[in-house]
């Protein structure tokens, strides 16, 4: 059975994001996958990258450099518990699903904090092991999110530009950098402005996609995919 | 005298980011500007968008929708104190400078949380008042940041792609959406890998740029600037 980690960032279980998360847990479990959920708001996950992430002494207490300290602490096994827990989940997973509402053309801060703090050097990448040789290669990631704006606003030539433009930093800059292969994003446009029936169709479409997910090919993670 | 708000996100005052912030305070004060700094880590600024941001009763306590609740709370004057403080600073400012180290092709989570929580509907935008007619029009913003990767890595055709690709969500998706005009970014590439002398030159170059900042024209905030 494959292992899936769903990193989920919504405050309200009754939201469409909450339902999308539940649908994924149900469908993937039905397939025999073992599914773990990191429910970031429920966990009160800490988004701030601070000295508290390092247990015990610092490598250089004269001048605090978060990247260096987290890297050194990872090597010594001195990262805070909440981080090592998340790293264990990532390590075991074949697929990472990120489920969130789009906030300001990106993920909510609580999820950005998960990226900032969990994907430390030594664990997720370590030069020259980045991009295609990143340390999390052989894993897949999928960004599943809802938007406020409509599909038309996020079209090429629309006010907000092609939705792919904003996927560059998160899919290429984060996941591809760590060697993770990226499946096509799953986007529910403007669920707040459609009927209850349409929202149900969105849930069905997601369950449907998950049925054949493991047969999907990753996207071609190059500038052409994003900006063609 | 003009008013400047510097939103600053670095844990270490002795860092290059700390020095860039200090240089900006000094140079702009010398010009007669009144400068305010939001030192996010020192303030232990809360990045998570939660129910705690609304004082008192919710608009809809059956199903929590952060965007709607923050909007309603703004109209009723019921946002939490830390948010109204930041909104006052933004309201008074002619120029917003964001000073930070690039984390994962974007700003650190603590600063993303500032965007998520401070720029609420009703205050920063309110449909159809977005983009050129956003509610913060007549203000300027400037993103000043340091990178881990070199200038070559962030060139077109480089491993990390043109640095402008990653500016789209933050300059266009956030600032332009609120009507704020954007000055060219100020980027210090890979300061950790250059000599102390080179880092001093970076500080001098920033002070130099600030001397004539008010004569600068905003960038042309269109896809062409980013993806040409």
User: What is the dihedral angle through the alpha carbons of A55, A43, A118, B86, rounded to the nearest 10 degrees?
Assistant: -90
Q: How far is CA B70 from the centre of its chain?
A: 20
φ, ψ (nearest 5 deg) of residue B56: 85, -150
Q: How far apart are CA A77 and CA A80, in angstroms?
A: 9
pLDDT of residue A18: 98
Q: What is chain B's alpha carbon radius of gyration, rounded to the nearest angstrom?
A: 18
- Record the pTM: 0.98
B-proximal residues of A, 72-101, CB under 8 Å: none
Chain B partners within 8 Å of A169 (Cβ): 104-106, 165-166, 169
Q: How far is CA A187 from the centre of its chain?
A: 14
Establish if B52 touches chain A: CB-CB under 8 angstroms. no
Contact A20/B at CB under 8 A: no
pLDDT, position A125: 98
Cβ atoms of A178 and A125 within 8 Å: the answer is yes
Banded model confidence at residue A93, pLDDT cuts 50, 70, 90: very high
Nearest to B12 among A14, A63, A223 (CB): A63
The CATH class for the domain spanning A3-227 reads: alpha beta
- Tell whether B225 is within 8 A of chain A (Cβ): no
Q: Which residues of B touch A108 (CB under 8 A)?
A: 49, 112, 116
CB atoms B104 and A119 under 8 Å: yes
CA atoms in the 13 A half-sphere facing the CB of A68 = 14
Please, which pLDDT band fits residue A228 given cuts at 50, 70 and 90?
confident
Which DSSP helix (H) or strand (E) runs through A203? helix A196-211
Inform me whether the C-beta atom of residue A118 falls under 8 Å from chain B C-beta atoms: no
CA pair distance A153, A167, nearest whole angstrom: 15
Mutation target for A interface from B106, B129, B159, B163: give the one with most A CBs within 10 A: B106
In degrees rounded to 5, what are phi and psi of residue B39?
Answer: -90, 90
> In chain B, which residues have pLDDT < 70?
none
Q: What is the reported pLDDT for B228?
A: 85
Please tell me whether the interface predicted TM-score (ipTM) of this complex is above 0.90: yes
What number of other Cβ atoms are within 10 A of residue B165's Cβ? Answer: 22
Using alpha carbons, select from A125, A39, A40 the residue that is nearest to residue A74. A125
| 3-state DSSP percent of chain A in helix, strand and coil, to 5 | 45, 15, 40
Q: Looking at the predicted structure, is the pLDDT value of residue A110 above 90?
A: yes
**Minimum CA–CA partner of A12 in chain B:** B64
CA distances from B25 to A179, B33, B107, B182, B207 (A): 40, 9, 21, 20, 10
Of A47, A116, A168, the CB nearest to B166: A168
Tokens of A56: 């015990």
Length of chain B in residues, anyone? Answer: 228
**Of residues B48, B113, B159, nearest to A131 (C-beta):** B159
Interface residue B149 vs chain A (CB under 8 A): no
List pLDDT tens digits, range A113-166: 999 999 999 999 998 999 999 999 999 999 999 999 999 999 999 999 999 999
Please tell me the predicted confidence (pLDDT) of residue B221. Answer: 83
Classify B78 as helix, strand or coil: coil
**Site from B54, B112, B180 to mutate, A interface, most A CB atoms within 10 angstroms:** B112
Question: Mean pLDDT of all residues in chain A?
Answer: 97
Domain borders along chain B are 3-227
Mutation site, A162, A169, A224, interface B, largest B CB count within 10 A:
A169
Q: Which of A56, A85, A87 is nearest to A72 (CA)?
A: A56
Distance CA(B65)–CA(A209), nearest Å, equals 27
Is A221 a residue whose pLDDT tops 90?
Answer: no
Q: Copy the structure tokens of residue B222.
A: 């269109």
Q: What is the pLDDT of residues B29-49, one digit of tens each?
A: 999 999 999 999 999 999 999
pLDDT of residue B162: 97
Question: Is residue B128 less than 8 Å (CB to CB) from chain A?
Answer: no
Q: Which of A168, A182, A225 to mutate to test the interface with B (most CBs of B within 10 A)?
A: A168
pLDDT in tens, A166-196: 999 999 999 999 999 999 999 999 999 999 9
Share of chain A above pLDDT 90, in %: 98
Cβ contact B106–A106 (<8 Å) = yes
Residue A129 · residue A179 · CB < 8 Å: yes
**pLDDT number for residue A181:** 98
State whether residue A63 sits within 8 Å of chain B by CB: yes
Residues of A (167-206) whose Cβ lies below 8 Å from B: 168-170, 172-174, 177, 192
CB-nearest partner of A113 from B50, B109, B131: B109
- Cα separation of B192 and B200, whole Å? 12
Q: Do A104 and B115 touch (CB under 8 A)?
A: yes
Residue B119 sits at the chain A interface (C-beta within 8 Å):
yes
CA distance A182 to chain B (A): 16
């Amino acid at each position: 059975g494959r292992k899936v980690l769903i990193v989920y960032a919504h405050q309200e279980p009754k939201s469409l994001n909450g339902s999308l998360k539940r649908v994924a847990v149900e469908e993937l479990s039905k397939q025999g996958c073992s599914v773990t959920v990191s429910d970031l708001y429920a966990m009160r996950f800490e988004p701030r990258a601070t000295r508290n992430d390092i247990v015990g002494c610092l490598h250089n207490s004269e001048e605090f450099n978060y990247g260096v300290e987290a890297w050194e602490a990872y090597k010594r096994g001195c990262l805070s518990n909440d981080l090592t827990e998340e790293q264990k989940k990532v390590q075991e997973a074949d697929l990472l699903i990120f489920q969130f509402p789009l906030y300001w053309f990106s993920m909510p801060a609580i999820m950005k904090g998960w990226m900032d703090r969990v994907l430390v050097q030594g664990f997720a990448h370590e030069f020259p092991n980045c991009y295609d040789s990143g340390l999390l290669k052989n894993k897949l990631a999928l960004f599943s999110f809802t938007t406020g704006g409509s599909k038309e606003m996020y079209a090429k030539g629309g006010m907000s530009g092609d939705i792919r433009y904003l996927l560059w930093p998160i899919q290429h800059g984060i996941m591809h950098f760590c060697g993770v292969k990226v499946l096509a994003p799953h986007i529910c446009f403007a669920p707040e402005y459609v009927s209850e029936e349409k929202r149900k169709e969105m849930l069905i479409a997601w369950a449907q996609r998950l049925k054949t997910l493991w047969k999907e090919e990753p996207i071609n993670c190059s500038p052409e995919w994003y900006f063609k």
